[in-house]
Amino acid sequence: MPSYRQNQLLARVNFPLYTVHSLSERHILVAGGGGGAKTGIHNVIEIYELINNGRTCRAQSVTHFKTGNEAIMNCTIFNNQKYFILFAGKEGNCQVYKMKHEIVEDEICTSNSVKETDVQSTVRKRVPSTGSGVEDVPLRNDTSVAKESDSNANDIHKLLRFNIQPLESFQTDFSDDPFQKQVKFSSLSKVLASAGSDGHIRLWKFPKLNQIHDIEAHNDDVDDLDICPRGEMIVSVSRDGHGKIWSIKDGSLITELKYSLPSNCDSKYIFRSCRFGLTENTNEFTLFTTLNPAVRKRPPAKSYICKWDTKQFSLQKMVSAGSDMLSVMAISDNGHFIGLGTQDGSVKMYIAFSLQLVYNIDRVHSIFVTGLEFLPSSDESRRITGGHEASLISISVDNHIIIHHIPMRGSMGMLSLITLFVLTLFFVFVVMDYFNL
C-alpha cells in the first residue's frame, strides 16, 4: 500500500455537479443544480479555495452564487488578468459572467467548544459588498474550517472571494430541444466554440461575440470538442460515431479520424471524449480520444483510449481502458497525464506519452463522473496539495468533490526499496565471487 493518501473528499454540496474548472493554483469552480424542476434544489456556482493542511489540502468555500432557474451544465473560463470571463452553458444558451476577485475579512468562530461535526450551524460572517452576487452561506459539515485556537476567540483573516456579475446571454443551439453540450475558448485566437444537440459547431469572435462560422459538423449531438493549444484547429466527436478536425480560420473540414479495432473486437464503437495535450518537453501537441462500445453487451466490451499524431492525424496507439463505459476525460496542462472518468464512478490516470495506467480507483463516486480537472502543474499547486506530481479533481451528480493524487515519480515505496536492496546485495556477491574475495 502507498504511504500517501491517493484520494480524499474535498467537499459535499447539496446540488448535482456537472462542471468543474480550475481558476488558479488554489481556486476551483464547480457548478450545477436541479435545473428548472420544482424540486427545491438550487442552481449554483460554488468556488473553493484549497488550503494546505500538512500532507494534503482541504477546501473552503469562498463564493456561493445562485444562477436562477437554469443549471450550468458546461463552462469554459478566460482569464484576462484583471478578472475572469465565465462562458456557461444553460440549456440552449451561453451565459456570460464576469468574475472579479476581491479581498474581504473573514471571521470564523474557532472556539474549542465547536467541533468539526457541529460546523453545520456555524455561519461564515463576511463584510458586505454592494452589488455582490455572493451570499452568506453555512459551512457544510465536511468543509474544513480554520484550526482551533484560543478558547472562545474569533479568528479574523483576509479572504479572497469572487464577485460574480451576469453579462449577456445568447443562443448557441437551435434544435427542437436546444441544449448546449460543450463550450471552449481559445485565448490565442480569441474565439469561442460552442456545440450542442443540433450537431452544429458555432464559432464566436471575442469580445463582441459575433458569430463567424456555423459548421454543420455532425448528424447527431456533439458530445465533446476541444481547441488545439495554438488556436488553429478544433476536434469534435459525436454520437453519430464520427470524429473530425476543423479549421478555425475558415471553418472547413481538415480530416476525419480513422481507426482500426483489434482483430478480436466485433463491436461497433463511437467516440466519447477528445482532448489536445502538449507533448512532453516540446511545444508540439498530441490528440487523445476515447472510444466506447455503441451497445452494451454481456460480457461488456472494452473501452479504449487513443493517441493521435497531429500532423497527419494517424492513430499512434490504442490501449484498452477496461470494460467500464468512459464518460469524461482531462489532460494536465503540461501534457504529462490523462484523467478518465467512467459511468460507474471510477477514476483512472494514465501517463500521456506511453498510455500506461498509473492510478485507478474503482467507484470512488456512487454514479457516473460528470467532470474532471487537473490542478495547474506548478510548484505552488504542489505545495498546496502536499508535494504530489499531479492532482486531479473529480465531480459527479452524487454531489461529491474528490481530489486524487499521483506522487512524485522520484519517490519510492517500501516494495521498491526492498527490491533495490536485494539487487544491490546480489550485485555485491557477484563482484566478490568474480574477484575471489
* Per-residue confidence (pLDDT) for residue 107, from 0 to 100: 56
pLDDT band at 296 (very low <50, low <70, confident <90, very high): confident
Q: Which residues pair with 11 in a beta bridge?
A: 401
Under 8 Å CB-to-CB from 256, ≥6 apart: which residues?
A: 242, 243, 244, 245
pLDDT higher than 80, residue 129: no
Per-residue model confidence as pLDDT tens digits over 328-341:
999 999 999 999 99
Q: How many Cβ atoms are within 10 Å of 94's Cβ, its own excluded?
A: 25
| Distance separating alpha carbons of residues 433 and 437, to the nearest angstrom | 6
**Residue 125 or 332, more confident:** 332
Per-residue model confidence as pLDDT tens digits over 369-381:
999 999 999 999 9
pLDDT higher than 90, residue 120: no
| Distance separating alpha carbons of residues 35 and 206, to the nearest angstrom | 28
Task: Report the share of the chain in percent with pLDDT over 90.
Answer: 71
| Distance separating alpha carbons of residues 230 and 148, to the nearest angstrom | 48
pLDDT band at 415 (very low <50, low <70, confident <90, very high): low
pLDDT higher than 50, residue 144: no
Under 8 Å CB-to-CB from 400, ≥6 apart: which residues?
A: 9, 11, 12, 17, 365, 366
**Residue 291 or 134, more confident:** 291
Return the domain boundaries, the chain: 1-90+93-171
Task: Please name the residue that has the C-alpha cell 468543509.
Answer: 143
| Distance separating alpha carbons of residues 392 and 322, to the nearest angstrom | 20
pLDDT band at 156 (very low <50, low <70, confident <90, very high): low
* Per-residue confidence (pLDDT) for residue 213, from 0 to 100: 98
Residues 272-297: what's their mean pLDDT?
91
* Per-residue confidence (pLDDT) for residue 137, from 0 to 100: 34
Q: C-alpha grid cell for residue 183? A: 463550450
Prediction pTM value: 0.82
Residue 169, CA distances (Å) to 24, 87, 166 in order: 25, 9, 9
* Per-residue confidence (pLDDT) for residue 416, from 0 to 100: 57
* Per-residue confidence (pLDDT) for residue 155, from 0 to 100: 53
Residues 116-142: what's their mean pLDDT?
35
| Distance separating alpha carbons of residues 138 and 125, to the nearest angstrom | 9
Residues counted in the chain? 437
Per-residue model confidence as pLDDT tens digits over 212-245:
999 999 999 999 999 999 999 999 999 999 999 9
pLDDT higher than 60, residue 143: no
pLDDT band at 145 (very low <50, low <70, confident <90, very high): very low
User: Strands across the sheet with 253-256, in order?
Assistant: 222-227, 233-238, 243-247, 253-256
Mean pLDDT, rounded, of the chain = 86
Of 298, 295, 276, give the one whose Cα is nearest residue 287: 276
Under 8 Å CB-to-CB from 98, ≥6 apart: which residues?
A: 83, 84, 85, 86, 164, 165, 167
pLDDT higher than 70, residue 118: no
Residues 105-117: what's their mean pLDDT?
43
pLDDT higher than 90, residue 3: no
